[in-house]
Amino acid sequence: MNSYQDDFYLEKNMDFLNNGSFGACPKTVLEAQREWQIRMETQLIRFFMRELPIALRDSAVSLGKFIGAKPENIVFVDNASSGANAVIRSLIPQLRRGDKLLTTSHCYGAVLCTLQYACDCSGAELVIADVPFPIESPQQVIDTLIPYITEKVKLCVLDHITSATGVIFPIEPIIGFCREKGVPILIDGAHAPGMISLNMETLQPDWYTGNCHKWLFAPKGCAFLWTHPEKQEITHPTVISHGYRENYITEFDFVGTKDYTPFLTLPKAIEYYSTIGYEKIFSHNHNLVVKMRDRLCEAWSVPHTAPSSMLGYLATLYCPIAQNKMASMKNVALIHDFLWDTYRVEIPIMPFNNKLWWRISSQIFNSEEDYNKLLEIGMSNDLLDG
């Protein structure tokens, strides 16, 4: 897979182990975006009034084929946090004191803040189910969350693949249980598109939002919100514009003057992905991240944090650095900067449950050699406590 390195603009002579944060976009996809931008600037009125509406729906068709969804149920948002905001903020007028909004301890920070905002506005209660980490099986997620799903829950927000801990959650049975109880559920699939196979028509949550710029090779600012037809009338974009009260697609497809070209470039990104093929990408990325997880855990003498079957292209490991101290943002910045400035290793340091962790990513441009410096650091004990 090393041959794919030249497809990206990533700096040479560094170990880039953090595709998970923002995603790297291939040169050919960025070139396609630039062509759309030039087309936009050539005749702005024609582009925004005539061409953009058609092109957006064409992108929805392409994405729909990729994620098993009808295009009329897909709208585009800048990122998964924007998608979650649209859903959660749309529900605020319906919330009352005594209602509950439910999520887990693995919830992405920005989404957790949005849930808290909704509670602050409405008087509803935010409930956080404490899912274990390290984790031993998908059943632990189910057993932890199910008891909290009651008639008082007006929205359950569940990560498909967690950000800080890099774990694939078993969303299917939880969606089914929520459906039985009449509890609406939003799936935060920020990392899912391009990492695991998706079929919205089979999953049938109330809402699903996911990024296309992390693992599907789209430009930054390209994400989608899939909404069940029964929930589309009450779902509105965070920015209310001229399409308000017309229909779901009209409201989301134009929210004012902005650069819509990341969405229009999605067919090119899917083409790049499909040319390599899901099986080849998954085999490389998953096998590499599991193999390197195993080697790093051995080098650092730390246990695994999740079974391999719950991992995609991410793995979060114990970081044996200052573990005798409470994790803080100051420690995070210091450790990150030390690894980059000293070793040119780009890797995120995650504070979670009052401990520090690091999360490795594998993308098609990564190889085993990219992890050698981390192994050397572990053997040299450069960053151990004290």
* Same domain (yes/no): 268, 296: no
* Same domain (yes/no): 177, 33: yes
Arithmetic mean of pLDDT, 86-112: 98
* Same domain (yes/no): 154, 33: yes
Predicted pLDDT of residue 327:
55
Whether the pTM exceeds 0.75: the reply is: yes
The residue written with tokens 């193999």 in the block is 291
Specify the amino acid at residue 241.
Answer: S
* Same domain (yes/no): 237, 287: no
Q: Greater confidence, 193 or 3?
A: 193
Look at residue 52 and give its three-state secondary structure: helix
Q: For residue 285, is it within any domain?
A: yes
Question: Where among 249, 272, 295 does a domain terminate?
Answer: 272
The percentage of residues in the chain with a pLDDT greater than 70, rounded to a whole number, is 95
C-alpha 355/C-alpha 309 separation (Å) is 24
Predicted pLDDT of residue 294:
97
CB-neighbour burial class of residue 39 (10 A; exposed 0-12, middle 13-18, buried 19+): middle
| pLDDT, tens digit, 9 for 90 and up, residues 351-381 | 898 888 999 999 999 999 999 998 887 655 5
Q: For residue 12, is it within any domain?
A: no
Residue 320 clears pLDDT 80, i.e. is over it: no
Instruction: Read off the tokens for 78.
Output: 């800048």
Nearest residue to 73 (alpha-carbon basis) of 197, 171, 195, 201: 201
Number of separate domains in the chain: 2
* Same domain (yes/no): 310, 263: no
Q: For residue 2, is it within any domain?
A: no
* Same domain (yes/no): 216, 337: no
Residue 386 clears pLDDT 50, i.e. is over it: no
Q: For residue 260, is it within any domain?
A: yes
Nearest residue to 265 (alpha-carbon basis) of 5, 15, 26, 12: 26
Distance of CA 102 to the CA centre of its chain: 19
Q: For residue 141, is it within any domain?
A: yes
- When pLDDT is cut at 50, 70 and 90, the band that residue 329 belongs to is low
C-alpha 301/C-alpha 330 separation (Å) is 25
- When pLDDT is cut at 50, 70 and 90, the band that residue 385 belongs to is very low
C-alpha 234/C-alpha 91 separation (Å) is 8
| Cβ 187 vs Cβ 160: under 8 Å | yes
Tell me the sheet residues that pair with 3: none
135's CB contacts (< 8 A; 6+ apart) are 141, 165, 167, 305, 306, 307, 310
| Cβ 40 vs Cβ 47: under 8 Å | yes
* Same domain (yes/no): 243, 287: no
| pLDDT, tens digit, 9 for 90 and up, residues 235-245 | 999 999 999 99
| Cβ 217 vs Cβ 271: under 8 Å | no
- Secondary structure string (H, E, C) spanning 328-359: CHHHHHHHHHHHHHHHCEECCEEEECCEEEEE
C-alpha 366/C-alpha 6 separation (Å) is 12
* Same domain (yes/no): 347, 242: no
Predicted pLDDT of residue 283:
97
DSSP readout, 116-133? HHHHHHH--EEEEE---S
Q: For residue 3, is it within any domain?
A: no
Give the CATH number, domain containing residue 283: 3.90.1150.10
Predicted pLDDT of residue 382:
53
| pLDDT, tens digit, 9 for 90 and up, residues 278-312 | 999 999 999 999 999 999 999 888 999 999 999 99
Q: Identify the domain containing residue 146 by its residue range.
A: 28-272
Give the CATH number, domain containing residue 51: 3.40.640.10
Which segment of 237-251, 252-266, 316-330, 359-373 scores lowest on mean pLDDT? Answer: 316-330
C-alpha 380/C-alpha 374 separation (Å) is 10
| pLDDT, tens digit, 9 for 90 and up, residues 44-98 | 999 999 999 999 999 999 999 999 999 999 999 999 999 999 999 999 999 999 9
* Same domain (yes/no): 165, 235: yes
* Same domain (yes/no): 181, 322: no
Nearest residue to 299 (alpha-carbon basis) of 197, 375, 204, 380: 375
Question: Where among 253, 272, 291 does a domain terminate?
Answer: 272
* Same domain (yes/no): 252, 148: yes
**What values do phi and psi take at 125, rounded to 5?**
-110, 135
Q: For residue 361, is it within any domain?
A: yes
Question: Where among 237, 272, 307 does a domain terminate?
Answer: 272
| Cβ 66 vs Cβ 281: under 8 Å | no
* Same domain (yes/no): 291, 202: no
Region of 368 please: left (phi>0), alpha (psi -120 to 50) or beta: alpha
Q: For residue 370, is it within any domain?
A: yes
- When pLDDT is cut at 50, 70 and 90, the band that residue 326 belongs to is very low
Tell me the sheet residues that pair with 226: 74, 208
Predicted pLDDT of residue 322:
55
The residue written with tokens 């406590």 in the block is 385
Tell me the sheet residues that pair with 209: 188, 225
Residue 149 clears pLDDT 70, i.e. is over it: yes
Average pLDDT, the chain: 94
